[in-house]
Amino acid sequence: MSAAPWRALLFCALAVSSLVCQAQRVAIKPQPLKSGLEFTGAEVRELQQDDFANPGMLWVTRGETLWREAAGREGKSCAGCHGDVKASMQGAATRYPRIDAGSSLLINLDGRIQQCRERRQQAEPFKYESPELLALTAYIGLQSRGMPMNAVIDWQNRHNFEAGRAMYYRRMGQMNLSCAQCHQDNWGKKLGPETISQGHGVAYPIYRLEWQTMGSLHRRFRSCLSGVRAELLPLGSPEFLDLELYLASRAGGLTIETPGVRR
Amino acid sequence: MTARIQIPASAKRGEVIEIRIAIQHPMETGFRLDDGGRAIPKNVVNKLVCRYNGIEIFRAEMGSGIAANPFLDFFTVAEASGELVFDWVDDRGQTGSERVKLTVSG
């Protein structure tokens, strides 16, 4: 018996398995993709779109000051290395979370700022969710406003993506609900008085009227976890970073709105 | 305290101009409890004054009913080029101040 049919069979098997792998690396997106802004009321939309009235811009203004402020033992400012924020940080937020070359761990924009502060400026890193970190994240995020989310899933971050997807579809908490059951399967429907959004994290950090302050995507994750009465994971935890990566891929193509305003 | 002020870049003498100010402040109402059940003391920006070339043109006294990060919007008549100075104070005695230049032509 010749080897040719076997080779052909092997080739087919490989092709199929690579297709399967390929399929797994793409998040299932709701159709059509809709920003959370489309699920809010007109007042909230107006508030976000007015660059003066948007309360998040206060954090941006603070971030602008911090960007130029020298800090730490090195006495360096962000601007000292990165220069003009409009040039150096344009599009930066579209690529996070990504793998940190040094540690091979997944890192988000907040984490990158903390890392820069610790290693380059030799300063005390800002706490996750601190007003300073939110201010800098908002200021840097603003430089990508209007640009499409563009998280690339490759061999380096594939396992993070897969862990994130597993979390997205995992039933959690006393309510026994997964992220997908609300935001993938039932978006657009009502949950009490609220319309369920598709749950894209494209406007973070956001000014949430319920919080009366700015908050990160991870704080929002904790709100949802608390909603389904699941165990609250810490801010900046690896599980949240994986989920953030999955969501970034799922929101691929939606434009960044930082600083967003939500209910 | 971070604040943002918006005034027109320039104005004609006698023109009515809009002035907007936003102040970053938690505006703690005094009605809330912390995680341990203790009352969080009231801390709001209770007074804000705006002076135009030294003359008080606007004053606001605020209380618990004003949301966090208060945003005030008012009008005045452009009289002469000069400076608008905003001063405010909260219940803890923390003060803030911000000034902007206004150019008036004609």
Question: Cβ(A92)–Cβ(A145) under 8 Å?
Answer: no
Asked if residue A239 lies in contact with residue A233, where contact means CB atoms within 8 angstroms, the answer is yes
Please answer yes or no on whether B22 and A65 come within 8 Å at the CB atom: no
Residue A91 has which token pair? 């599009």
At residue A2, the pLDDT reads: 54
Collect all residues of chain B within an 8 Å Cβ-Cβ radius of residue A43.
none
Does the beta-carbon distance from A58 to B27 stay under 8 Å?
no
Cα-to-chain-centroid distance, residue B3: 8
Beta bridge mates, B3: B23
> Looking at beta carbons, which residues of chain A come within 8 Å of B43?
none
Find the angle CA(A215)-CA(A221)-CA(A223) to the nearest 5 degrees.
Answer: 80
Q: Where residue A16 falls among pLDDT bands split at 50, 70, 90?
A: low
A-B contacts at Cβ under 8 angstroms: 35
pLDDT single digits (tens) A201-251: 999 999 999 999 999 999 999 999 999 999 999 999 999 999 999 999 999
pLDDT in tens, A145-169: 999 999 999 999 999 999 999 999 9
| A61 to B4: CB separation less than 8 angstroms, yes or no | yes
A182 is catalytic: no
Q: C-alpha distances in angstroms, B9 versus A19, B17, B21, B75?
A: 59, 10, 15, 15
Asked whether the beta carbons of residue A212 and residue B27 sit closer than 8 angstroms, the reply is yes
- Interface check A59 vs B, CB under 8 A: yes
- Residues 25-84 (B) with a CB less than 8 A from some CB of A: 26-27, 67-69, 71
Q: What is the DSSP letter of B35?
A: T
pLDDT tens column, A116-143: 999 999 999 999 999 999 999 999 999 9
ipTM of the complex, rounded to two decimals:
0.90
pLDDT value at A24 more than 60:
no
DSSP state of A28: P
Q: What is the pLDDT of residue A17?
A: 53
Per-residue confidence (pLDDT) for residue B72, from 0 to 100: 96
B2 touches chain A (CB under 8 A): yes
Q: What is the per-residue pLDDT across B15-33, written as a single tens digit (0 to 9) for each?
A: 999 999 999 999 999 999 9
Rg (CA), chain B: 16
3-state secondary structure at position B24: coil
B45-52 and B55-61 as β-strands: parallel, antiparallel, unpaired? antiparallel
Please check the confidence at residue A37 and state whether its pLDDT lies above 90: yes
SS3 of residue B59 by DSSP:
strand
Contacts of A59 in chain B (CB under 8 A): 2, 24
Residues of A in contact with B2 (CB under 8 A): 58-59, 61-62, 65
Chain B partners of A65 at a C-beta cutoff of 8 Å? 2
CA distance A69 to chain B (A): 15
Catalytic residue among A21, A116, A182, A224: A224
Would you place residue B58 in the very low, low, confident or very high pLDDT band (cuts 50, 70, 90)?
Answer: very high
Distance from CA of B54 to the nearest CA of A (A): 26
Residue B24: which of A52, A53, A58 has the nearest Cβ?
A58
Encode pLDDT of A44-90 as tens digits: 999 999 999 999 999 999 999 999 999 999 899 999 999 999 999 99
The half-sphere exposure of A88 on its side-chain side, counting CA atoms within 13 A, is: 11
Query: Is the CB of A52 inside 8 Å of chain B's CB atoms?
Result: yes
Burial of A241: CB neighbours in 10 Å, binned 0-12, 13-18, 19+? buried
* A218–chain B Cβ distance below 8 A for any pair: no
pLDDT in tens, A174-184: 999 999 999 99
Question: Is-contact A135 A215, C-beta < 8 A?
Answer: no
Percentage of chain B exceeding pLDDT 90: 96
Residue type, B67: A
- Whether A10 has a pLDDT exceeding 90, the answer reads no
d(CA A176, CA B73): 47
Q: Which residues of A touch B23 (CB under 8 A)?
A: 58
- Tell whether B5 lies on the interface with A, counting CB pairs under 8 A: no
Contact of A130 with chain B, judged by CB distance below 8 Å, is answered with no
Q: Which amino acid is at A260?
A: G
pLDDT band at A12 (very low <50, low <70, confident <90, very high): low
The C-alpha atoms of residue B6 and residue A172 are separated, in whole angstroms, by 47
Interface with A, mutate which of B1, B4, B6 (most A CBs under 10 A): B4
Q: What is the pLDDT of residue A1?
A: 45
